[in-house]
Amino acid sequence: RRDRYSGDRWQRKMCIRNNIEADGYIATNNHVVENAVEIEVILPDKRIFTATLVGLDPNTDLALLKIDATELPAVKFGNSDIVEIGEWVLAVGYPFSLNTTVTAGIVSAKARSIGIINRPGTPNGDGNSQNMNTAVESFIQTDAAINPGNSGGALVNLNGELIGINSAIASRTGSYSGYGFAIPVNLAKKILDDLKKYGIVKRGILGVSFPAPIAEDQFFKQQGLDPAKVRGVYITGVLKESAAEASGLQEGDIIQSIDDIQMTSSTEFSERIARHKPGDTIKLDYLRKGT
């Protein structure tokens, strides 16, 4: 991406990111196209298109574009749930306006929350009126070099399958320091499908609150709990008239699995909930007072 200021408006020029369908649907980051008046897409064969913004989701930093083109090569979707730490990956993008750059690295971690998406405003999937952060962060962390211009680009496995969409870096200088973060494709698929069908994201809300990942251990110690013994997601509150209240969840419960998938962190829990639409039924296993 190259940003340039022209008169009273921002124009965004963007080389193609993730062409997800042959008829011109393109996935990118919300922060790449947010507030843009005009979006221009340049294909690798140097064709230039004016893109239509189909929809945005600031809560996951995703956006969907459409260009008037057909028979384009489309990326094959992988499965981010089965990605393993230590697995080799490639990051694709246009860092510093260097066209079609590929870097290699490994998956360093999964279900990372780094606090970069912070959208106060309305009660979120954790449902607490005192916690108004609507962000869903469960990044794949990689040491493949990601720099400004990689945003919205593909993170692929060695089979060339899309497993993540590059979104952020952790750096004191603004350039690569070994820590890149990508939105897992299994979450992205749900968000992009909603944007294509409805123009917005229809997000299911369970209606529970839990400690922020960065302050989780401190919270447990304040409550006299041993962080090593809390195996799951500790519920600190239940939203009134929510699905959680209707099903009998209570403050102090520890959700241990969703649909028989063991939960090891609140970031993983948030992602799993965010994959669901309103009206979906899920199975929760939880611990209450040792039972």
Supply 199's token pair.
């123009």
H helices present in 80-213, as ranges: 185-198
Retrieve residue 282's tokens: 């899920």
Task: Look up 217 and say whether it is catalytic.
Answer: no
Q: Is 204 helix (H, G, I), strand (E, B) or coil?
A: coil
Are the C-beta atoms of 22 and 170 separated by less than 8 Å? no
Given 57, 61, 194, 253, the catalytic residue = 61
Q: Is 4 helix (H, G, I), strand (E, B) or coil?
A: strand
Residues composing the chain: 291
Please name the amino acid found at residue 106. I
CA angle 105/110/113 to nearest 5° reads 115
Alpha-helical runs (H) found in the chain: 30-33, 185-198, 216-222, 243-246, 266-274
Identify how many contiguous H helices and E strands the chain contains and give both numbers: 5, 21
Catalytic residue among 108, 113, 138, 151: 151
Active site (annotated) includes residue 259? no
271, 184 contact by CB (below 8 A): yes
Which is nearest to 258 in space by CA: 275, 241, 240?
275
Whole-angstrom Cα distance, residue 50 to residue 185?
26
What is the Cα–Cα distance from 143 to 105, expressed in whole angstroms? Answer: 5
31 given a catalytic annotation: yes
Residues with active-site annotation: 31, 61, 151
